[in-house]
Structure formats: C-alpha cells, structure tokens
C-alpha cells in the first residue's frame, strides 16, 4: 500500500495487466472495451494493456480489426512503480483470468483506489467485493461492456467504490495486517 496508492488525478483510461496469453482473456478485455466504445459512443476512453507474451501480435491485430487501435496502448513489461502509476491514474482495472490463485493485480488496483471489474471465479472473486470494491462478471463481453458503462456513467458510485477499494486493501491486505495475522497464527501453535 506504500507503492500502490490513490492519485487525485484520474485520466480517461482503464487498464488491464497480465501475461499476453490466452488464459488471461486479454482478448475478451479488448472485445468488451470495443463493445463499450461502440454501444456508448465513447471515443475518448483509452485502454492500457500492461504485459508481454506470445499473443501480442494477435491482440494488436484484434484492436485493428475492431477499429480501436488508436484507443489501445500496449505498455509492455512495467516495473512496480510504473504499474502503480498507471493503476492509480486509471478509472477502472479489468482482470478476467478465471484461474488466478490470489488475484494480486486486482488487489494492487484496489490499493490505488481503482475499482475492479473482475471475473467471478478464482482468487479475484475472493479479493473483490461485488458492488463494494468493484464489480464481478461472467466471461461475457456484453456483460463486461455494460459493467464498464455502469462504473463510468455514475461518478458518485465510482468514487464510493474507489474509497471502499482502498479501505478494503488497507484493512485486509496491508503488511501490518498480514504480519499480525501470521503472528496470531504462531501464538496459537
């Protein structure tokens, strides 16, 4: 929470982070983003994709095919400080990998006060509280596009989720909380 912290400046962007491999569903993030842009006529919003991997060329081609190439930026591999900067300046983080064991990227996003749209499976579903720190979704591009709109069209709800997200991480995932829990565990043994 010392590196991943909120910024008072939120830009007209959303982001995702992960290896550019099929299992991470970055293609679904792109398709959902394109559908949101089309359905809600948003030509300003940007999508930043953090990560590298074997699917990069296919994902770039997908942005071209969907006519959103100018709205999507591939940031490549980034260090923690750069990820924190992007996450803290974004309005929403999207994470759709159903096989995450913990969902660290979602926790980092919430630490930045950036609500999450996450898949309703695996570790992400355990760290994101639906309707409180973000929105959980099925792997459906229409549903995800509508959730993007739901967050971006209601400024008060977005601010509430942002504040809740940061508080949730501070209360449950900070080093102090983790070390205290571990300490209590050892005392019981």
Which class for 98: exposed (0-12), middle (13-18), buried (19 or more C-beta within 10 A)?
middle
Percent of the chain with pLDDT over 70: 100
The residues pairing with 92 across neighbouring beta strands, listed in sequence order, are: 14
Q: What integer best gives the mean pLDDT of the chain?
A: 95
Looking at the predicted structure, is the pLDDT value of residue 100 above 80?
A: yes
Q: Give the separation between CA 154 and CA 177, rounded to whole angstroms.
A: 32
Q: Strands of 92-95's sheet, edge to edge?
A: 72-76, 46-50, 13-17, 92-95, 116-119, 134-137
Q: What pTM did the predictor assign?
A: 0.93
Going by their DSSP bridges, the two strands 72-76 and 46-50 should be labelled as parallel
- The enclosing H or E element of 130 equals none
Query: And the tokens for 24?
Result: 């991470």
Looking at the predicted structure, is the pLDDT value of residue 187 above 90?
A: no
pLDDT digits (tens, 9 = 90+) for 10-37: 999 999 999 999 999 999 999 999 999 9
Instruction: Read off the pLDDT band of 143 (50, 70, 90).
Output: very high
pLDDT digits (tens, 9 = 90+) for 35-67: 999 999 999 999 999 999 999 999 999 999 999
Looking at the predicted structure, is the pLDDT value of residue 178 above 80?
A: no
């Amino acid at each position: 929470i010392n590196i991943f912290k909120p910024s008072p400046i939120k830009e007209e962007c959303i982001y995702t982070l992960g290896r550019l491999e099929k299992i991470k569903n970055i293609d679904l993030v792109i398709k959902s983003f394109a559908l949101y842009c089309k359905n809600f006529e948003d030509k300003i919003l940007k999508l930043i994709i953090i990560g590298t991997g074997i699917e990069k060329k296919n994902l770039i081609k997908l942005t071209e095919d969907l006519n959103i190439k100018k709205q999507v930026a591939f940031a490549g591999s980034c260090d923690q400080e750069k990820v924190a900067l992007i996450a803290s300046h974004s309005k929403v983080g999207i994470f759709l990998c159903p096989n995450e064991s913990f969902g660290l990227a979602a926790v980092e996003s919430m630490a930045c006060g950036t609500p999450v749209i996450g898949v309703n499976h695996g570790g992400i579903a355990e760290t994101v509280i639906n309707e409180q720190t973000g929105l959980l979704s099925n792997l459906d591009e229409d549903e995800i596009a509508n959730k993007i709109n739901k967050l971006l069209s209601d400024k008060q709800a977005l601010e509430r989720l942002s504040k809740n997200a940061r508080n949730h991480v501070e209360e449950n995932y900070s080093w102090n909380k983790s070390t205290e829990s571990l300490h209590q565990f050892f005392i019981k043994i």
